[in-house]
């Protein structure tokens, strides 16, 4: 596609270099690749989302760049967009479209007689679809996928190899689930007694909304009595755990190894950093950001950035870190003062 067409698709402002600076760069120039700014070749589209890489702009061999603000004297076309990272993502989708699948059910797949599979769906070898399950239009199930009885997979969803969807689980439309994830395993519910632990039957379900992406090796447990839910547009990184009965809002991000204990409530547009965890029944408000390695032990009821264990407003956490770093110095000062007081008391006694 040419630069002008791409600018229109991205709704970006096209700024062309002066003819004397780059006579070959025109609105009709074809773009053939998407490349990093430091290694791009002629005909490539590149992007600038961090000022650290601005040093490469004068020397990059790319033919066009996506950026937030036009820069004078550049020898390449500029696609100016208020959100260059989003524009880059959209451009990448154009350059690297998803592979086209051939609809059909492999002879090596097992589909229960009572299951419903759309004619446009693709089922690879060793897929298992249980009784009463529903597989929507253009769904793709890769080898080793298990879809339990009465589960539902919405239109245009893709389940990569060895994904497990347990009985009665509902997956929305345009959902992507990466390999090895398990949706709908029993929640961790046990009642202690004199003779050991009594298992609490987990009879709730899991409901995953539209446009959700679930990384590799993610586990989302079904609730004991109520459903576990993941809202529309939410993205879960690899190795995330969502405990039974939890509710994750819309457009929320959970980074790798983040984990929610049972009955946690997460709002919309929340970001949980890597290795973040919560205790049971914690509530986190909309637009909260929790930094990596933090522990949420009580409700976070106001939007903002939180850090540490227990998680607290980031300014408080930074002050606490400064105090911690001074502990050794303060300990030495206290020891010196204690010795001086002891010496003074000894002098007074004499």
Polymer length of the chain = 350
Quick one: which H or E segment has residue 304? strand 304-307
Cα–Cα distance for residue pair 106/146, rounded to 1 Å: 14
Radius of gyration of the chain, Cα coordinates, nearest whole angstrom:
28
Answer for the pair 183, 177: CB distance below 8 angstroms, yes or no.
yes
Residue 244 is among the residues annotated as catalytic for this protein: yes
Cα–Cα distance for residue pair 195/193, rounded to 1 Å: 5
- Cis link prior to 135 (omega < 30° from 0)? no
Q: What angle do CA 268, 230, 288 make, to 5 degrees?
A: 25
Cα–Cα distance for residue pair 290/274, rounded to 1 Å: 9
Beta pairing partners, 2: 30
* Catalytic pick among 81, 241, 244, 251: 244
User: What residues have CB less than 8 Å from 326, skipping those under 6 apart?
Assistant: none
User: What residues have CB less than 8 Å from 226, skipping those under 6 apart?
Assistant: 204, 245
User: Is 174 exposed, middle or buried (CB count within 10 Å of its CB: 0-12, 13-18, 19+)?
Assistant: middle
Q: Which sequence positions are flagged as catalytic?
A: 244
């Amino acid at each position: 596609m040419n630069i002008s067409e791409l600018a229109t698709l991205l709704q970006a402002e096209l700024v062309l270099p002066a003819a004397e600076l780059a006579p070959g760069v025109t609105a009709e120039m074809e773009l053939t690749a998407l490349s990093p700014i430091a290694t791009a070749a002629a005909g490539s589209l590149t992007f600038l989302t961090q000022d650290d890489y601005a040093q490469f702009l004068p020397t990059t061999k790319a033919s066009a760049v996506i950026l937030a603000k036009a820069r004078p004297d550049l020898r390449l076309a500029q696609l100016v967009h208020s959100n260059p990272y989003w524009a880059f993502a959209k451009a990448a989708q154009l350059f690297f479209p998803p592979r086209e699948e051939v609809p059909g059910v492999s002879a090596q797949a097992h589909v229960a007689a009572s299951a419903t599979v759309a004619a446009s769906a693709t089922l690879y070898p060793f897929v298992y679809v249980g009784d009463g399950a529903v597989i929507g239009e253009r769904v793709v199930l890769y080898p080793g996928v298990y879809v339990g009885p009465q589960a539902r997979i919405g239109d245009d969803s893709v389940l990569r190899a060895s994904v497990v969807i347990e009985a009665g689980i509902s997956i929305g439309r345009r959902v992507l689930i990466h390999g090895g994830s398990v949706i709908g395993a029993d929640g961790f519910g046990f009642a202690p007694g004199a003779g050991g632990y009594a298992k609490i039957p987990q009879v709730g379900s899991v409901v995953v909304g539209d446009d959700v992406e679930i990384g590799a090796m993610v586990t989302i447990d079904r609730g004991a009595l109520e459903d576990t839910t993941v809202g529309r547009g939410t993205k879960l990184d690899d190795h995330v755990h969502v405990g039974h009965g939890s509710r994750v809002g819309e457009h929320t991000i959970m980074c790798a190894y983040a984990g929610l204990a049972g009955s946690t409530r997460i709002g919309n547009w929340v970001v949980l950093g890597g290795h973040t965890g919560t205790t049971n029944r914690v509530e986190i408000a909309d637009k909260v950001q929790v930094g990596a390695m933090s522990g949420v032990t009580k409700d976070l009821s106001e939007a903002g950035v939180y850090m540490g264990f227990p998680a607290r407003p980031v300014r408080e956490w930074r002050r606490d870190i400064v105090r911690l770093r001074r502990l050794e110095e303060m300990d030495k000062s206290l020891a010196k003062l204690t010795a001086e007081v002891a010496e003074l008391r000894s002098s007074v006694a004499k």
